[in-house]
């Protein structure tokens, strides 16, 4: 079976600023199939950045769900992150998604995983 995956996304938060970067690579086994994948998106008019690593289709599904959570919780980044992690952990279909997300704004940065982790770095 061919296993496809996407790779590196990083974020840096410093003095009420946040920056995300991604390598843009999509690989199948050991071959790089694409160099310009968009793994980082802007939400809320550019105030929130979201990036993913893992399966591209799964990452895009998570982008959509996170955007819905942001709208549901009035752009409260932390609350939206926790609610997405809870849904991701408990929903049968979402549990199978193979991706990780990093979300941030000028105040906060969070790493979200499918096992329910919501990690805010020091």
Residues known to be catalytic: 7
The Cβ-side half-sphere exposure at 57, using a 13 Å CA radius, reads 4
Distance of CA 81 to the CA centre of its chain: 10
- Which H or E run includes 63? helix 56-72
Interior/surface letters 12-44, b for 16+ CB within 10 angstroms, e for the rest: ebeeeebebebebbbeeeeeeeeeebebbbebe
């Amino acid at each position: 079976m061919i296993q496809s995956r996407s790779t590196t996304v990083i974020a840096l938060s410093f003095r009420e600023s946040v920056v995300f970067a991604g390598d843009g690579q999509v690989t199948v086994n050991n071959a790089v199939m694409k160099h310009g994948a968009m793994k980082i998106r802007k939400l809320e008019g550019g105030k929130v950045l979201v990036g993913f690593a893992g399966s591209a289709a799964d990452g895009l599904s998570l982008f959509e769900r996170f955007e819905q959570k942001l709208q549901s919780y009035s752009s409260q980044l932390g609350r939206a992150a926790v609610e997405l992690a809870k849904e991701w952990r408990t929903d049968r279909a979402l549990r199978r998604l193979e991706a990780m997300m990093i979300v941030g704004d000028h105040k906060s940065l969070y790493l979200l995983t499918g096992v329910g982790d919501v990690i805010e770095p020091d």
